[in-house]
Amino acid sequence: MTESSFNEVCVLEPEDQVAPATAIVIFGATGDLTHRKIIPAFYHLQKHGRLADGCAIVGFARRPKTDQEFREELRASVEEFSHSKPVDKEMLDRLLSHVYYHQADLADPVGYRQLADRLKTLPERPAFQNRYLFYMATAPSYFETIAENLARADLAYDENAAGISRVIVEKPFGEDLKSAQHLNQTLQRFFPEQNIYRIDHYLGKETVQNLLYFRFGNSIYEPLWNRRYIDNVQITVAEKVGVEDRGGYYDATGAARDMLQNHLFQLLTLIAMEPPASLEAEAIRDEKVKVLKSIPLSSEEALIQKSVRAQYGEGMIDGRKVRPYRRESRVAPDSMTETFVALRLEVDNWRWAGVPFYLRTGKAMRQQFSEINIVFNRPPSVLFAAVCGVRLHRNSLRIRIQPNEGIHLNFNGKVPGKSVIQRVDMDFRYREDFQDYLPEAYERLMVDALVGESTLFTRKDEVEQAWRLVDGLRSAWMGQNIKELPSYGAGSLGPEEANQLLQREGRGWLPIYDY
């Protein structure tokens, strides 16, 4: 077998896979998610030839409007929120010509029967037949209602009927373990598990998808990916915005349920998982679940010691004054809801025993970024002990998820002309090294759902294992007899207590770079 040429590519799946003709029904069609993410994603799929001609999109919502009014609203949304400008008017017109609006109340069974009748009369019907994708872009309280009404209208999955019926469910999937289990049981009454797509848009990001290829497609790092060489792992998802107009939702949710339970645990599983038996969806998801099962729940006292929760206070972000969380609209003046959480945990298996994983996420922070830092053990300092001592920097691998996606290796190098060791960087940036179009997360996820590829969606047991951990943490917090949470200034990187979480063990958060 000859060595492949330097520029030869290895194709793991069909390139530019075209989604088959499908009727896509969006519940909550007048909402923010539809306008900002879902429809712009379909526009880009149309533009890049990823949608079959027989696809139809039906918006389901309560407000009265005509097909044409709905199309014009979506046109304005694509022109505003498309990440690729200028918008191709011809391609947008082509997409909107297959968009329809269905007025009905989410709780009214009659509206679903009328939807079923209308789907049979659409001009695209000969192409999509009985192939449906239902997108629940609504508040979670409606998920069960929508599933039940779809079944009553004979639109849910039927093993004896020709066709395919799939459902996408937005986060949050439940508000604790008990509610997530109930929702899983409800959905599985009407759809088989393989047809339920629990969406987490982080899994659609190119850098997140690349974690599997980076880890298991290279011989450089995988031998080092264990407790012998790695000192700690740091995962950060920082948001610049505060709660804005979502105070009512956020005050009943908090950072642990809003971000830790899904985004951060997803990144953790991809970093910590064992090599899967294959690249098939179930093999990959099996390994992710094993990681979560390997995280033990400490005692409540230990969880309090290993975690930090805080609220943002007054501060400045980009020259704009930000008011304290407790003074935000629809937030209780004595709220104990966390807008920041940091957590130390361990994966109790052979590969990772003794390696701490530090997770943190917060709102109203100095920068908007998501990244994973792999911090390696220090080399023996025999040669440099007299001069450097502990100042000999640890090597680290920084995986930037957003913005400016890339992978950056920090290592020690000699400064030219001096007997000085300095930390230097070796950088890879997606937008510089790959000139191809870089799709948004929702674009990849929409195509995968349409073709039945579930690797980038969350499985039932994975959701429940994540809730097991968050429930344990929140239970420990609820047992504390405190009336105030630590505060951090808006525009900072979180409270001092989060720094102390690492400093107690002789570690620190890696500095943040603006690549």
Q: How far apart are CA 450 and CA 267, in angstroms?
A: 24
Q: Is 263 a catalytic residue?
A: yes
CA dist list (Å): 196 to 135, 178, 434, 453, 459: 10, 19, 33, 11, 8
Side-chain-side CA neighbours of residue 3 (13 Å): 3
Quote the CA–CA distance of 81 and 209 in Å, as a whole number.
23
Strand 340-346 vs strand 320-322: parallel, antiparallel, or unpaired? unpaired
Cis preceding-peptide flag for 86 (omega within 30 of 0): yes
Could you give the CA distance from residue 148 to residue 330 in angstroms, rounded to a whole number?
Answer: 32
Q: The tokens 């996408």 sit on which residue?
A: 168
State how far the Cα of 482 lies from the Cα of 497, in Å rounded to an integer.
16
Strand partners of residue 200: none
> Which DSSP helix (H) or strand (E) runs through 407?
strand 406-414
Q: Cβ distance 189 to 218 under 8 Å?
A: no
Please name which of 207, 214, 240, 211 lies closest in space to residue 514, comparing C-alpha atoms.
240
Contacting residues for 279 by C-beta, under 8 A, at least 6 apart: 12, 212, 455
- DSSP bridge pairs for 487: 311
Q: Which residues of 62-79 are buried (b: 16+ CB within 10 A; e: fewer)?
A: eeebeeeebbebbbebbe
Closest C-alpha to 274, from 261, 265, 283, 264: 283
Task: Answer for the pair 446, 40: CB distance below 8 angstroms, yes or no.
Answer: no
331 with 304: CB under 8 angstroms? Answer: no
Q: Which of 44, 102, 201, 263 is catalytic?
A: 263
Write out the DSSP string of 475-494. HHHHT---S---EEETTBSS
In degrees rounded to 5, what are phi and psi of residue 102? Answer: -125, 115
141 SS3 class: helix
Q: DSSP character for 273?
A: P
Cα-based distances in Å from 457 to 19, 29, 141, 189, 263: 17, 22, 21, 19, 12
Please report which helix (H) or strand (E) contains residue 271, including its range.
helix 265-272
Active site residues per annotation: 263
